Structure 1
Amino acid sequence: MIELTAGTGRLGLLPELGGAVAYWKSRDICVLHAVSDANLLAQRGRAVSGYPLVPFSNRVANGHFRFEGTEYRMKPNFGGESNTLHGNGWEHPWQLELLADDSATLVLDWHPPYEQVTGQVIGQWPFAYRAQLRFDLREDSLSIGMLIENTDLRSQPVGMGFHPYFPRRSGLQLGFAAETVWTNDEHHLPALRVPATGDWSFEHMHAVTTQDIDNCYAGWERAAFLRWPNEGLALTIEADDPFRHLVLFTPPDKPFIAVEPVTNMNDAFNHSGVIDRGVHVLAPGAKLEGHIRIALMAC
């Protein structure tokens, strides 16, 4: 465990557990909600408040995709599904590169394992990359810098994002503007793209009640707002340009929601016909980077 401090702000980091955030507290307020999800197999039941999504966000259908004429297959890594979820950065230990009282930089150097006889990748992400996470803490805010660099000899498709959990308490309200949202099929994969209107809309901030949403929004304005009116607290989430999609997860029977700024739509590698699917093809040595900023305030 690494703890950053800034005034009354405290941030706990778990480099060995996929670069996850253990907690974020400000003035003894739990800004994030720690969640233990047995389906996230590599987290081994440990409660975390957030974790990085690299080198892609959300699902790849059956762990299979085709890129530049080659078929690739990855093993399932989420309980009860045949899909591969959230990349593989959260499944591996990160190394501490830089540390100060209020900031830390973590890195992950990924090299895919090969079967010696066939030379094929063994069920993992098939390209080498270097990922970097930088956390900068202030008393009432947190900046998360993300970078992924292609360290392979081949071009590779990538995406990234961050998966924070927020407490679902005290009449939680949510607001953000988006153009469209993807509905899901029975395998939790994108089916139809529809306008983000009616029950899908959060353009006018309203309470998160019994809605059961686990969907990806496209064309959001890269700003979202949460409010706990009974506690007089509000929170803003802002993201840089690469994060053009937003995954919203509001399980009605859980004490949390997830609001995830991400670069790519769900199952983006298998939707080449979607112009704005958010896949970035990096040539060897090329990088993708961006920042997510979260700030707590009184309201």
Structure 2
Amino acid sequence: MIELKAGAARLGLLPELGGAVAFWESGAICVFDAVSDPNLLAQKGHKVAAYPLVPFSNRVADGHFRFDGAEYRMKPNFGGEPHVIHGNAWEHPWALELLSDDSATLQLEWHPPHDRPMEEWPFAYRAQIRFDLREDSLDVWMAIHNIDQRPQPVGLGFHPYFPRRAGVKLGFSADTVWTNDERHLPALRVPATGAWSFERMRAVADEAIDNCYAGWDGAAFLRWPDDGLALTLSASPALRHLVLFTPPDKPFIALEPVSNMNDALNHAGVTDRGTAILAPGERLEGHIHFALTAC
């Protein structure tokens, strides 16, 4: 594990475990919640508090998509589902590129195996993620570079888990939200109003939400009144989708700034689906800022 420090703040990193974050602590308070999910097969039961989503966020239905006249079918990587989930960068060791007391840059270079070119992501890419820790904030910079000789469709995102401590409240603004079908894939796009709305900050009770919001304005707010702590999340324009996951039987929620809608590779007709088509040598990048304040 690599540990960054800035005053009373500490950030643990696990490059060998998919570039994951082990913890983010502010004094005695855990800002990110370490979670073990046995369905994320490559994590092998280890607890992680956040991890990068490269080269796409969420699901690709049955691991199958078509692009540029070719058909691709990837091997499922999530227990109990036929889909491929969250790309493949979280399944592989990252290399440490740069390190200081309060900053670290990790890198992953992916090349499809010649004998299994479509078992995982079928294009070559280089991904980078940089963590800059301050006593009252964390910056996460991400980029994916197309190092293949062909264009490729990509996305990226970041998957932090936050503690679902008593009284936690959430607020953000988005235009629409995708409902899910029985296979956890996008079904209908509806206005983010009524029960779907977090325009007015409200408590995260026992709701079971696992949906992608579109037309997100790039800001979200979390409050833990019992801890006297507030967090403001802001994301760069490339990350204009927000996945909210609130399993009622778990002690955490996930709030994921991402570039693409769920199953974006199979929704070419959605103009703002968020998939970037990178020519060889091009890159997509995004930035997330987490700021802590007292409340």
TM-score by length of 1: 0.98
Distance in 2 separating the partners of 1:106 and 1:10 = 17
Deviation at 1:50, TM superposition (A): 0.3
Distance in 2 separating the partners of 1:51 and 1:284 = 26
> Secondary structure in 2 aligned to 1:230?
helix
Determine if contact 1:11/1:22 at 8 Å carries over to the other structure. yes
Residue 155, structure 1, aligned to residue 151, structure 2: yes
* Per-residue CA distance 1:24-55 (angstroms, 9 max, x = gap): 00112100100000000000000000000000
* Per-residue CA distance 1:203-244 (angstroms, 9 max, x = gap): 000000011000000001100000011221110110000001
Aligned to 1:9: 9
Determine if contact 2:72/2:118 at 8 Å carries over to the other structure. no
Distance in 2 separating the partners of 1:21 and 1:249 = 18
* Per-residue CA distance 1:54-92 (angstroms, 9 max, x = gap): 000000000000000100010000000000000000000
Aligned to 1:86: 86
Residue 168, structure 1, aligned to residue 164, structure 2: yes
Identity of aligned residues (%): 73
Residue 289, structure 1, aligned to residue 288, structure 2: no
* Per-residue CA distance 1:152-193 (angstroms, 9 max, x = gap): 000000000000000001200000000000000011000000
Superposed CA RMSD in Å reads: 0.6
Give the AA of the match of 1:218. Answer: A
Give the AA of the match of 2:270. Answer: V
Residue 278, structure 1, aligned to residue 274, structure 2: yes
Distance in 2 separating the partners of 1:217 and 1:292 = 17
Give the AA of the match of 1:162. Answer: F
Aligned to 2:25: 25
Deviation at 1:122, TM superposition (A): 4.0
Aligned to 1:198: 194
> Secondary structure in 1 aligned to 2:160?
strand
Aligned to 1:77: 77
Q: How do residues 100-249 of structure 1 correspond to structure 2 at under 5 angstroms?
A: 100-115=100-115, 121-249=117-245
Determine if contact 2:177/2:212 at 8 Å carries over to the other structure. yes
Aligned to 2:38: 38
Give the AA of the match of 1:238. Answer: S
Gaps of 5+ in 1: none
Distance in 2 separating the partners of 1:121 and 1:230 = 51
Give the AA of the match of 1:235. Answer: L
Give the AA of the match of 2:133. Answer: L
Determine if contact 1:156/1:282 at 8 Å carries over to the other structure. yes
What number of residue pairs does the alignment pair up? 295
Give the AA of the match of 2:108. Answer: L
Determine if contact 1:56/1:158 at 8 Å carries over to the other structure. yes
Distance in 1 separating the partners of 2:142 and 2:28 = 27
Instruction: Point out 4+ residue stretches in structure 1 off by more than 6 angstroms.
Output: none
Aligned to 1:62: 62
Aligned to 2:49: 49
Distance in 2 separating the partners of 1:256 and 1:222 = 21
Gaps of 5+ in 2: none
